[in-house]
Chains A and B, each alone.
Chain A
């Protein structure tokens, strides 16, 4: 069962995501009720940022998070027309939150080092674990794939959907879904290659 904060169940729930797409479209075209619903759903942004910040050792202060919330919301708003419903809205928003949070942490570390007079590339204890940087690279890599490739990989690896369901979801033949998936994985491997070996 799909929850409101976008925990993806192993099998994607087609209807819920289509409803998300419809809500986003209506909101963008000015439907007041849809905008209200979207506001409620976008409350996931501060929650995801706060939760992720906690999981990464609370490097960012409350004030940092307040700034970040506004930046991420503006970014999400700009990207919303591209939401296709391959994942629940919250799961689609999650990568933006992670990437922006890691960027904010990076900026803060550089700032701290600058004021302490430390060389910028000297490792310090507060650097995020390489696994987190790897996940960020993974999301950046997924964003660089063609939309069908990224959708097939997300549906298969993040939601555990079999190729039959992916094909149905994307209205394409099963063989095409497989081609998109394997080509996407090949490209992702090339994009992540050396970094992937490092974090393993």
Chain B
């Protein structure tokens, strides 16, 4: 027997006495036909249950409201930042594409914004209906706009995907963003 398992007669007899008192009281309670407050039991229990149900319902409502707000927030964010064709930015420095995005009257001028300290940019245009099929690329650009040759543009597919890549002075890619655009009827 380990030291932990040593018997403690005093504590054990006290526990036994408590058990006997409990048994005697429960026996006495069982023999009572009536007791003050016995008529209150059903009311208190049912009230407690209803209160618990109300609290649970309130919790469900609050959770539903929170979920709805979250869903609305996510939807708004999606609509604002992920309009048809616009993709998320890549890299640490965001490039925000302004036009053309989605249904567009013309593909003549491409504009974007960049908060990065990019030294130069490059625009890459691909066929929007055939992934990976290159249409054209701009070469090094120092401004936030690029105009393609109008004659060349007329031969482009109706749907394009274009990407702006931002580079630092050493030629390292800082970030990129792409978007789809299509000719509006």
Contacts and interface: CB of A to CB of B under 8 A. Distances in A.
B132 interface: no
A178 interface: yes
Contact of A45 (B8, B22, B41, B49): B41
B20 to A, nearest CB: 10
Interface stretch (B31-39, B83-91, B141-149): B31-39
A57 interface: no
Interface stretch (B9-17, B62-70, B169-177): B9-17
B14 A134 contact: yes
Interface in B45-87: 45-46, 48-49, 52-53
Contact of A47 (B4, B5, B29, B45): B29
B49 A47 contact: no
Contacts of A68: 37
A44 B21 CA distance: 16
Contact of A39 (B16, B27, B30, B42): B42
B19 interface: yes
Contacts of A73: 40-41, 44-45, 48
Contacts of A98: 25
A116 B95 CA distance: 83
Given A65-B36, A98-B25, 19 more contacts: A5-B27, A6-B26, A8-B19, A27-B49, A35-B45, A39-B42, A42-B41, A51-B28, A55-B24, A55-B25, A70-B37, A73-B45, A94-B22, A135-B17, A157-B15, A158-B18, A186-B4, A197-B10, A200-B14
Interface of A: 3-8, 27-28, 30, 35, 38-39, 42-52, 54-55, 62, 65-66, 68-70, 73-74, 77, 90-91, 94, 98, 131, 134-135, 138-139, 153, 157-158, 178-179, 182-183, 185-186, 188-189, 192, 196-197, 199-200
24 contacts: A5-B27, A5-B30, A7-B23, A27-B49, A35-B49, A39-B41, A44-B29, A46-B36, A46-B37, A46-B41, A50-B29, A51-B29, A70-B37, A73-B48, A77-B44, A98-B25, A134-B18, A138-B18, A157-B19, A158-B19, A182-B4, A183-B4, A189-B11, A196-B14
Interface of B: 2, 4-5, 8, 10-12, 14-19, 21-30, 32, 35-38, 40-42, 44-46, 48-49, 52-53
